[in-house]
Chains A and B, each alone.
Chain A
């Protein structure tokens, strides 16, 4: 395939895929009770964004590499985020013995 040549997939379809993926991720993040799965859902949303970035890198008005590079950065930051997030989770788990979101509530002791 390479860098040139027409891509027949309609841009709108890829964006729609991204949007649906994003909404599924959002739903997960809002409803999952396990903190790990909330983090995972957020990764899903980041992926949805990445799909859009890569799509526009190829199918935008002036195609160039910037979109791909951005998605690389996103992947890196996501990795950092999940590392720190999981570390926090472990720390919290040691104290609270739970990974339930509902129990990590400082407002209501």
Chain B
């Protein structure tokens, strides 16, 4: 096996740290706008991880869609509503405690499950891109074997677009 502290491994470690730090920050900030920015950090970290794993196209898409579009959209939404909103300091209610315990236990269990299994480590000899660049290979697959899901997703996007416009429209009856 390869040495434990290879360049890849170090990169992964740093990226993970960044992602988790951003996520925890999101939880702990109280101003909504900061939270949105912290999430943007998580998205970018994930994009870096994808690129590290050789999925350049997905990584770029992640940056464009998540870090770009979605984060901006969220910021817009915050601005359109009460942008001064803060999460109030909240006492530990039973529900919150239960949620914390539940999530913690769930995470611990999942980690145990992950530890308990022997995972495959991929097959170095196989080229997932079949000799092409990653973008080209994904394009081939999307327009050949995933034609119909692709079209359906486009339809879904259109519907979502139209729906979002209609929902967000100011209606006559409203002030």
Contacts and interface: CB of A to CB of B under 8 A. Distances in A.
B69 A30 contact: no
Contacts of B26: 24, 28, 40-41, 44
A104 interface: no
Interface in A29-63: 30-34, 36-37, 39-41, 43-44, 47, 50-51, 54-55, 57-63
A91 B81 CA distance: 10
Q: Interface size bucket, A side?
A: 35 or more
Nearest to B106: A23
Interface string B109-131: 01100110101111111111111
A37 to B, nearest CB: 6
Contacts, number: 266
Contacts of B24: 24
Q: Interface centre among A15, A50, A68, A82, by most B CB within 10 Å?
A: A68
A15 B35 CA distance: 25
Residue among A64, A82, A89 with the highest chain B CB neighbour number at 10 A: A82
Interface in B129-175: 129-131, 134, 137-138, 141-142, 146, 149, 153, 156-157, 159-161, 163-168, 170, 174-175
By DSSP majority rule, is chain A's interface helix, strand, loop, or mixed?
helix
B157 A73 contact: no
B104 to A, nearest CB: 7
Interface in B88-118: 88, 90, 95-96, 99-100, 102-104, 106-107, 110-111, 114-115, 117
Contact of A7 (B8, B35, B88, B167): B8
A79 B157 CA distance: 8
29 contacts: A6-B124, A8-B3, A11-B119, A19-B107, A19-B110, A19-B114, A20-B111, A21-B23, A22-B107, A23-B110, A26-B106, A34-B32, A36-B36, A37-B32, A43-B39, A50-B62, A51-B46, A57-B53, A59-B121, A60-B122, A63-B123, A64-B128, A69-B146, A72-B61, A72-B138, A79-B70, A83-B161, A87-B164, A88-B167
